[in-house]
Amino acid sequence: MNKKVILENLGQKDYKETWDYQEELFKGIVDTKIDNRRNGSELETPNYFLFVEHPHVYTLGKSGDINNLLVDDKVLQEKNATFYKINRGGDITYHGPGQVVGYPILDLDNFFTDIHKYLRFLEEMVILTLAEYGLKAERSEGETGVWLDVGTPFARKICAMGVRASRWVTMHGFALNVNTDLGYFDMMIPCGIRDKAVTSLNVELGKQEVDMEEVRQKLLRHFQSLFEAKIIKEKAPIQ
């Protein structure tokens, strides 16, 4: 089992370009697995972890309801935002500047073949990271992602998650609000869940801005520990 993970920080990158790149990496892993099975070979499958920051964009998962986007194309244009229907699970999600977005593209045969465990580990990675900032984050039963003050009238979501998996290969991932403009969440029903607020790390800490690279490094450290993975390569940001 190959537990080495290639880390790439893509910097600020268009959502569609990043999605296409994910699909390319995903297909490469799946094709290797198919070849191994057909030919009886044992070629090693690679794993990737992409960090990226997107321009304003709304994405709707396979099971999502378009009515959860509350504005039309004209308003999206005025807000310099785009919209895509995509092939992950979940409902509607917003990505934008000030958000740490992570896309682990892993062959789970290298780690464990359990999608629920995979999602719980991603949540735990975020929970442990937020704990380093003094925040008690937790899961909300039946709702994927990471929340604060679960079970109270003040429950609010700080990290959204949505993944796709085929032949135990994953793509898509998580979006952690760090210095995010929360006003963009007013144009949708986040994850299709009504009456639940959204927050960000800088708001919770009462800071104008939180160091995003510091957040990324904390996430990576917990990812490596939980998945018993080894980061083997880091590329410079692509502009």
Tens of pLDDT, residue by residue over 54-68, are: 999 998 888 788 888
Q: What is the pLDDT of residue 63?
A: 77
Q: What is the pLDDT of residue 236?
A: 47
Query: Is residue 199 exposed (0-12), middle (13-18) or buried (19+ Cβ within 10 Å)?
Result: buried
Q: What is the pLDDT of residue 171?
A: 95
Contacts of 99 (CB under 8 A, 6+ apart): 53, 54, 175, 176, 177, 178, 179, 180
Q: What is the pLDDT of residue 61?
A: 83
Taking only Cα atoms into account, the Rg of the chain, rounded to an integer number of angstroms, comes to: 18
Return the CATH number at 122: 3.30.930.10
Q: What is the pLDDT of residue 148?
A: 97
Give the three-state DSSP class for 6.
Answer: strand
Amino acid occupying residue 50: L
Give me the active site residues, please: 191
Integer Cα distance of 125 and 225 in angstroms? 9
Give residue 217's pLDDT band: very low, low, confident or very high (50, 70, 90): very high
Q: Is 89 known to sit in a ligand binding site?
A: yes
Integer Cα distance of 48 and 170 in angstroms? 10
Q: Is 91 known to sit in a ligand binding site?
A: yes
Integer Cα distance of 97 and 126 in angstroms? 19
Q: Is 1 known to sit in a ligand binding site?
A: no
Q: What is the pLDDT of residue 234?
A: 62
Token pair in block for residue 115: 């999608």
Q: Tell me which of 19-28, 44-53, 80-89, 150-159 is least confident.
A: 80-89
Give the three-state DSSP class for 216.
Answer: helix
Q: What is the pLDDT of residue 66?
A: 86
Q: Is 175 known to sit in a ligand binding site?
A: yes
Q: Is 92 known to sit in a ligand binding site?
A: yes
Q: What is the pLDDT of residues 225-235, one digit of tens each?
A: 999 999 997 65
**pLDDT score of 196 more than 90:** no
Integer Cα distance of 151 and 158 in angstroms? 15
For the chain, give the mean pLDDT.
92
Total domain count, the chain:
1
**Model pTM?**
0.92
**Per-residue buried b or exposed e for 63-85, using 16+ beta carbons within 10 Å of the residue's own CB:** ebeeebbebeeeebeeeebbbee
**pLDDT score of 90 more than 80:** no
Give residue 19's pLDDT band: very low, low, confident or very high (50, 70, 90): very high
The DSSP annotation for 17-79 comes to HHHHHHHHHHHHHHHHHHHHHHHT--PPPP-EEEEEEPSSEEEE-TT--GGGB-S-HHHHHHT
Q: Write out the residue range of the structural domain in which residue 80 sits.
A: 4-235
Give residue 130's pLDDT band: very low, low, confident or very high (50, 70, 90): very high
Q: Is 161 known to sit in a ligand binding site?
A: yes
